[in-house]
Amino acid sequence: MRVLVAMSGGVDSSVAALLLKEAGHDVVGATMKLWGGISDSGCCSVSDVEDARRVAARIGIDHHVFNFTEEFEESVVQPYVDAHAHGLTPNPCIECNRRVKFDLFIDRAVRLGFDKVATGHYARVTQGPYGWRLLRGLDVSKDQSYVLSMLSQERLERLLLPIGEFEKSEVRRVARDAGLSTAAKADSQDVCFIASTTSRVEFLGGRTYLHPARLVASGSREPLGEVPSIEAVTIGQRRGLGTAGDSARRYVVEVDHARGEVVLGAFEETLVNEVRFSGPTFTGDPVPEGERIQCQTSSHGRPAPAVYRIGHAVFDSPVKRVAPGQTIAFYRDDEVLGAAIVA
């Protein structure tokens, strides 16, 4: 089988390529050049490309670089900026997966004659009686099924996830035993197109006009201070609000762009019984109205039991309010059923 492996330059995709090669497949590695600006905190730096190239040479496979910088700018970076400007808190990693890594990359692989594509994500794809199923990775602490929750049957059919059955420690051991240069490389962190020396406010300020906002107390509307950018504030936020001297522990419970106010309240005010969403997509058949499911609202968040309704999920017990623009993923035990954008 001809397999094109998305090699990010990290240990996980390195081992994915190695395992497929050892299994006897015709393997080729490809690294996506996504961000044309400065990057030192994610998976888009020049050094990552070189790391992937060295690993490919060590394994004995061809390696290519696909330049998707224009598509990444149009599909991920600019929408990220626009979302913040309109009061949303987007998840750029999921949008990158949706628009680039599992869209453009797979389409190019098909045009080049590959049967499958593979990545180093900690999740599993299996074939069941009614189609392809996306499952959590066996390493619970590294499970990445949440960021793949928007994949369709068409995409799952083309996908291999070779390390989904592995613990992270085992992946590093395999890499060390094979002499791969990425064996001890740290995992990528944060948003890849925002350098570690640049704050989110600085990045957004270079691309859109930022507006200061008043901090006010929930209920009384008592003034509590000011933030330099309402666009960079998100629901549930506690840190970085300039209220460190306040003995009360306050959280963002509302962001009112029209009034230029950020409303702060107690932790209890961040709790809700339901989360509304729009644009649901499903890995297989749509989730039936009224079905009991589990919902996850962040990459490593704990799944919470809920009832699926059209346009919203009703939780068994209160959960922290989720910022509009974030992704909510639907599960049945270990199986991913789909995802939607919080409204």
> Which residues are marked as active site?
96, 192
CA atoms of 150 and 138, how far apart (whole Å): 20
What element of type H or E holds 154?
A: helix 153-156
Which residues, in sequence order, are CB contacts of 274 under 8 Å at separation 6+? 309, 312, 313, 314, 315
Taking a C-beta distance cutoff of 8 angstroms, is the pair 297, 328 a contact? yes
CA atoms of 57 and 179, how far apart (whole Å): 12
Strands 159-160 and 213-217: unpaired
CA atoms of 115 and 103, how far apart (whole Å): 15
Give the largest Cα separation in the chain, rounded: 68
